[in-house]
Amino acid sequence: MALIATEDLVKDYHLGSRRIHALRKVSVSIEPGEFVAVMGPSGSGKSTFMNLLGCLDTPTAGQYRLDGVDVSRMSRDRLARVRNEKIGFVFQTFNLLPRTSALENVELPLLYSAVPAPGRQVRARAKLAAVGLSEREHHHPAQLSGGQQQRVAIARALINDPVLILADEPTGALDSHTSIELMALFQDLNRAGITLVLVTHEADIARYAGRILVFRDGRLVRDEPVRDRLIARDLLATLPRGEEQEEEETAAEVSSP
């Protein structure tokens, strides 16, 4: 059974007396364990498509089934529950609380799940360890590099063990080396069975996925497997160390007995 299945998905917006056709009868199926990149120019409909996949909005017409459940006509409260239980979000701007530690930022979604505080901390520490940030759990966002902040955001997205990770331009604020490190992490998560859908403007970033969807004028115009897929860890092995990696290794040496 497909994890994501849309059929003739339509989204219209009204701007005064004008009707804007943001999405026009999009039908797509994404299986569990896929890594899909979504591309297209500004105004192509890709952001609208991601908002619908993330249950942040509802379609004007058509159907969207997530993990076998039709979410197309759900109420806002039910959609919020679906988001919290089934979807993890990663954004370009990280969206971390500035006066809160990395550990507390990762814990945040669990506050809406009635998980006791000790259980929240155990789970948050495990997710920070999964993204290589065990030594940074008490750091605030301002004390972390951009790549580290994004990894905190990924740990937060993973905290409820979602069936789907949606990443919107996650490398947009990162340098090229840190972007490759981030894609290595995404590929690791995908190999572990996590389904990822990533929006990007960058063709080279899309090549780390296994499949590309291209939107134009609200329509899905191309759906194809990635040819010559890039393997981020293989590429990292050929590059000089990034500044972030050197900083992390120095910090680990300082903190070790």
CA distances from 61 to 32, 46, 103 (A): 25, 17, 41
The three-class DSSP label of residue 18 is strand
Mean pLDDT across 131-146: 95
Task: Please write the tens of the pLDDT for every residue from 178-220.
Answer: 999 999 999 999 999 999 999 999 999 999 999 999 999 999 9
Domain boundaries, the chain: 33-61+87-255
Strands 69-70 and 61-66: antiparallel
Kindly calculate the radius of gyration of the chain based on its CA atoms and give it in whole angstroms.
19
pLDDT for 116: 86
Q: At what angle do helices 243-255 and 176-191 cross, to 10 degrees?
A: 70
Strands 211-216 and 195-199: unpaired
CA distances from 256 to 88, 122, 223 (A): 33, 22, 49
Report whether 96 contacts 153 (CB < 8 A). Answer: yes
Q: What pTM does this model have?
A: 0.89
pLDDT for 111: 85
Helix H segments across 75-175? 76-86, 102-107, 117-130, 146-158
CATH class of 33-61+87-255: alpha beta
Task: Please write the tens of the pLDDT for every residue from 45-77.
Answer: 999 999 999 999 999 999 999 999 999 999 999
